[in-house]
Amino acid sequence: MKKRARLWFTLSLVIIDSVMTGLAFYVGYQLRLRSEFENILPFSNYIGMALVHTVSILVVFFFYRLYHRQRSLSYVDQFYSIFGAASVGTIIAIAFISFFFKNQLDYPRLMMVYVWILTILFTAVGRTVQSRVQRSLQARDWGDERVLIVGTGEVGRIVMQKIQRSPELGYRVVGFVDDHAAVKAIHGVPVLGNTDDIPDIIATENINEVIIAMPEATHQETLKIVSKCDRGKVAIKVFPDVFQIMASEVTIGDLGGLPLLTVRDTAMRGWQLTLKRVIDVVGSAIGLVLLSPIMMLLAVLIKLDSEGAVFYTQERMGLDGKRFMMLKFRSMRPDAESDTGPVWTTADDSRRTRLGTFIRRFSIDELPQLINVLIGDMSLVGPRPERPVFVEQFRQTIPRYMDRHREKAGITGWAQINGLRGDTSIIERTKYDLWYTENWSLALDFRIIIRTIMQLFSDTNAY
């Protein structure tokens, strides 16, 4: 059943890509027909060219692995992949068309530009519709994959919660295994046994995928667990530990002839810093101008809703551990921490005002941080800044935690768009922050900004 479902999902993608690519070619022809005043041959004369273009796109899409299942690919990431693949496919199609139809037809250069742009747009729309249908079917257990999680610790629970909150991914957690489980079930999901029982559980429960969520396990223990999985029948994924992330790029250098290992130098320098700062200044300035009417209205509503100041300033720790005052619209009572001291905000926090509950739900309270970006305390994208009191706690227990302070703090970040905000694991958030600082690019920043905007109305961890 599941193999048949996967086959149908893949075939549906091929069919949709074929139809959308052919439609893009036809619409491109019609645009040329209406924009040029010379005599143009009927479309029937261009059918051969349309077939060459369609086949080229399908082949390139295949080699770009766009027909391989990628559960975690966002619509933004998918568009980037389609843009690159469709561009290469169009260039290849033009080359073949020039070869096969040389001296037979007028060479429609402008039409091929239309076709290139339309192919990107049409295939993106077609795949978005197909993806929504597929996720809807998977959320109804059609073609879902049965998952076994190894490890009942914090990481194992995070993996389970991520799967349960994202039914459209097509995963269903069947159970856990752990040699030291202290409970028989976790949020209704049973602990089926220990690691020695893995082969029997795979067979009896028809497991499709095993996720090893034990980053604290030694390499020998992980290999032992992998050896118990029937790799001919199940996919195996291993959650990485902090050292695996930290040592993903190690270079060998020397100090006066003394060999040294250099773990990634994460700090941005030179042109990278300049470029990021230019984008921050331009982006924050434009944002403040466009959003100023909304911010003025919010200021009035906050004053009418409750007593206290409009803005709330809080000390945070940013670049190189320097402290700064971060601006927010006030969303809580003025005496919110008078009894408790510094504490995390919870989902049902009674300290919020009526308006504060709304503006925190959609992160509107963070709009004044554009001022922090403009004056240089923060960046549009980067690790979220924490309060100094929490930083002192985290730096004692989390490896490389302070490395995230080698970049400017951001309004949004890689961890936030992946659901790690609010009352979520600091360890996992740190891993995502370190990955961002080590893999920064201009394109990555734009992707994060776009995904942040798209998630404003669907983020369940915003409170």
- pLDDT surpassing 80 at residue 345: no
Q: Count CA atoms within 13 Å of residue 336 on its CB side.
A: 21
State pLDDT tens for residues 371-389: 999 998 999 998 888 888 8
Give the DSSP letter string of 180-199: T---SEETTEEEEE-GGGHH
Alpha carbon distance 168, 133 (integer Å)? 10
Tokens of 327: 């601006």
Three-state DSSP class for residue 423: coil
- Annotated domain spans of the chain: 2-139, 145-239, 271-454
Sequence length of the chain is 463
DSSP 404: G
- Angle between helix axes 109-139 and 47-63 (nearest 10 degrees) is 50
The pTM (predicted TM-score) of the whole model is: 0.56
Provide CB contacts within 8 A for 369, sequence distance 6+. Answer: 326, 327, 328, 378, 411
- pLDDT surpassing 50 at residue 161: yes
- pLDDT surpassing 70 at residue 433: yes
For residue 372, the model assigns a pLDDT of 93
Give the DSSP letter string of 311-365: EEEEEEE-GGG-EEEEEEE--B-TTTTTTT-S----TT-TTB-HHHHHHHHTTGG
Count of CB atoms situated within 10 Å of the CB of 277:
14
Tokens of 373: 């970006």
For residue 344, the model assigns a pLDDT of 64
State pLDDT tens for residues 407-428: 888 999 888 888 777 667 787 7
Share of the chain above pLDDT 70, in %: 80
CA 129 to chain centre: 19
- 3-state class percentages of the chain: helix first, strand second, coil last, to nearest 5: 55, 15, 30
Least confident of 114-128, 346-360, 375-389: 346-360
Three-state DSSP class for residue 446: helix
For residue 369, the model assigns a pLDDT of 92
Residue range 73-90: mean pLDDT, rounded: 82
| Backbone φ, ψ for residue 211 (5° rounding) | -110, 115
Three-state DSSP class for residue 307: coil
CA 13 to chain centre: 22
Are 383 and 410 spatial neighbours (Cβ–Cβ below 8 Å)?
yes
More confident residue, 328 or 228: 328
Tokens of 42: 């009927």
For residue 118, the model assigns a pLDDT of 94
145-239: which CATH architecture? 3-Layer(aba) Sandwich (3.40)
- pLDDT surpassing 80 at residue 330: yes
For residue 157, the model assigns a pLDDT of 85
State the amino acid at position 136 in one-letter form. S
Q: Where are the alpha helices (DSSP H) in 140-168?
A: 154-165
Least confident of 42-51, 208-217, 311-320, 421-430: 421-430
Query: What is the rounded average pLDDT for all residues in the chain?
Result: 80
State pLDDT tens for residues 269-284: 567 778 888 999 999 9
- pLDDT surpassing 50 at residue 53: yes
Alpha carbon distance 159, 239 (integer Å)? 9
- pLDDT surpassing 80 at residue 267: no
State the amino acid at position 257 in one-letter form. G
More confident residue, 250 or 289: 289
| Residue pointed to by tokens 């402008």 | 110
- pLDDT surpassing 50 at residue 448: yes
Closest by CA to 60, choosing from 3, 123, 6, 104, is 123
For residue 107, the model assigns a pLDDT of 59
For residue 256, the model assigns a pLDDT of 46
Closest by CA to 207, choosing from 150, 148, 249, is 148
According to DSSP, the β-strands at 145-150 and 171-177 are parallel
State pLDDT tens for residues 211-260: 888 877 777 888 888 888 865 467 888 876 654 554 445 555 544 445 55
For residue 189, the model assigns a pLDDT of 87
More confident residue, 221 or 288: 288
For residue 101, the model assigns a pLDDT of 74
Exposed e or buried b per residue across 119-131, where buried means at least 16 C-beta atoms within 10 angstroms of its C-beta: bbbbbbebbeebb
For residue 73, the model assigns a pLDDT of 60
Alpha carbon distance 16, 124 (integer Å)? 10
Least confident of 140-144, 366-370, 373-377, 413-417: 140-144
Residue range 10-35: mean pLDDT, rounded: 90
Q: Where residue 338 falls among pLDDT bands split at 50, 70, 90? A: low
Residue range 63-73: mean pLDDT, rounded: 73
